[in-house]
Amino acid sequence: MFSLGEAVAVGLLLELLLAGIVITEFTLATRAYKTSRSRGADGQEALNQALSTVLPAPVAKAMGMEFGLFRALWRWIRRKPDAPEGHQILTYGSEIKPIMWAMVFLVPLEILAVEFLVPWSVVRIILLALSIYGTLWVLGFIAALSVRPHSVGDGKMVLRFAHFVQIAIPLDLVESVRTTRHSGYRRAVQINDGILAMPIGDSTTLSVKLREPYSVAPKPGKPFQEVREVRFAADNTREAVRILTANIVAD
- Per-position DSSP letters for 26-40, written without gaps between them: HHHHHHHHHHHHHTT
User: For residue 95, what pLDDT is reported?
Assistant: 87
- Nearest alpha-carbon partner for 143 in 202, 78, 237, 203: 78
If one compares 119 and 76, the residue with the highest pLDDT of the two is 76
Q: What is the mean pLDDT of residues 111-121?
A: 77
pLDDT-derived band of residue 170, with 50, 70 and 90 as boundaries? very high
What pTM was computed for the model?
A: 0.77
Residue 169 has pLDDT above 70, yes or no: yes
Range with the poorest average pLDDT among 13-22, 96-105, 194-203 = 13-22
CA atoms of 69 and 99, how far apart (whole Å): 18
CA atoms of 145 and 92, how far apart (whole Å): 7
Half-sphere exposure of 70 (CA within 13 A, CB side): 7
- Which of 103-107, 172-176, 222-226 has maximum average pLDDT? 172-176
Percent of the chain residues past pLDDT 90, beyond the cut: 32
CA atoms of 153 and 19, how far apart (whole Å): 44
pLDDT-derived band of residue 117, with 50, 70 and 90 as boundaries? confident
Q: What is the mean pLDDT of residues 67-88?
A: 85
Residue 89 has pLDDT above 70, yes or no: yes
Say whether 217 sits in a helix, a strand or coil.
coil
Handedness of CA 56, 57, 59, 65 (dihedral sign): positive
